[in-house]
Amino acid sequence: MSARIFNIISIVTVCAAAYWLPWYLFVLTVLFFISVLFFACINLSWNFFIPTLCKANTNDRVVALTFDDGPALYTSAILDTLKEYNTPAAFFCIGRNITGNEQLLQRIKDEGHIIGNHSYSHHFWFDMWSAAKMMDDMQQMNDETARITGLQPLLFRPPYGVINPKLAAAIKEKKYTSIGWSIRSFDTKIKDKEKLLFRIMTQVKPGGIILLHDSMEITAAILPDLIQQLRRKGYTITRADKMLNITAYA
Ligand SMILES: [Zn+2]
């Protein structure tokens, strides 16, 4: 259901509830619609405000690795592993992390991976900003990337995995493709390597997009095992843009 149809249905229902139902049922009706909106904001795969690609529709045993929040402390180690295993990936970089890590960004490009936009600031209040302020922030990240690599990223991953009507408008206006994931590793929370690997491997399905972070030591540590276990299960690790058949740069 599109956000517009949902808005119309919710307004009509809430008005009807205000007219016909007792006050407590009216309050429940309002809370129900607010809850739906809340969950639509944190579930990119609902495609409620804007389509977000969270997996490829395929029965082939392919998956894509994606790394958020770099360039960071473990990007270099992750790039080493990817090179050793001849494995491509996508890096959704934070623009402000590029300063001082220019060589890492160039390495990501030179070694055949793609660079996506994960905002410039990754600001805590990003989702509270106006669409115009969000667009400035997104452009700043593209400018940083272009300054070093000459590339203009077209793939955008929403900070914190949250989307709302203003961000949807900004993504649309800037002509980005919104990219989510189907396998959330929780590598920023899980401390045990075996648990992390188990969590990822038990969720793997054809066409899956795996969310990882190159800011995490544990992610760099499990990556060789993750690649080997995926291969043992018959999976080919492919680049997200190729798997989704989309263009990564303007
Ligand atoms: Zn992030």
Task: Summarize pLDDT for 133-184 with one digit per residue, the tens.
Answer: 999 999 999 999 999 999 999 999 999 999 999 999 999 999 999 999 999 9
pLDDT band at 47 (very low <50, low <70, confident <90, very high): confident
Torsion of CA 113, 118, 121, 125, to 10 degrees: -160
pLDDT attached to residue 236: 98
121 CA to centre of ligand 1 in angstroms: 10
Local structure of 123: helix, strand or coil: coil
Nearest to 66 by CA among 48, 46, 92, 87: 92
**Single-letter code of the amino acid located at 99:** T
173 CA to centre of ligand 1 in angstroms: 21
pLDDT attached to residue 45: 83
CB atoms within 10 A of CB 79: 23
Q: Which positions ≥6 away from 131 have C-beta within 8 Å?
A: 166, 167, 169, 170, 173
Is residue 218 within 8 A of residue 187, CB to CB? The reply is yes
pLDDT attached to residue 34: 87
Local structure of 55: helix, strand or coil: strand
Task: Summarize pLDDT for 89-107 with one digit per residue, the tens.
Answer: 999 999 999 999 999 999 9
Is residue 62 within 8 A of residue 238, CB to CB? The reply is yes
Helix (H) or strand (E) run with residue 165 in it: helix 165-173
pLDDT attached to residue 206: 98
The whole-angstrom separation of Cα 208 and Cα 54 is 8
213 CA to centre of ligand 1 in angstroms: 8
Exposure string over 22-41, b if 16+ CB within 10 A, otherwise e: eeeebeebeeebeeebeebb
User: What would the two tokens of residue 82 be?
Assistant: 């990817």
List the Cα angle 173/159/142 in 5-degree steps: 55
Determine whether 213 is an active site residue.
yes
> Computed over its alpha carbons, how large is the radius of gyration of the chain?
20
- Identify the active-site residue in 68, 69, 187, 214: 68
The whole-angstrom separation of Cα 199 and Cα 188 is 13
The secondary structure of residue 208, as a DSSP letter, is E
Is residue 64 within 8 A of residue 209, CB to CB? The reply is yes
Per-residue pLDDT at 122 exceeds 80: yes
Determine whether 118 is an active site residue.
no
139 CA to centre of ligand 1 in angstroms: 17
- Identify the active-site residue in 113, 118, 122, 213: 213
Per-residue pLDDT at 2 exceeds 80: no
82 CA to centre of ligand 1 in angstroms: 21
The whole-angstrom separation of Cα 149 and Cα 246 is 20
37 CA to centre of ligand 1 in angstroms: 22
Please count the residues of the chain.
Answer: 250
87 CA to centre of ligand 1 in angstroms: 22
DSSP secondary structure string for all residues of 7-28: HHHHHHHHHHHHHHS-HHHHHH
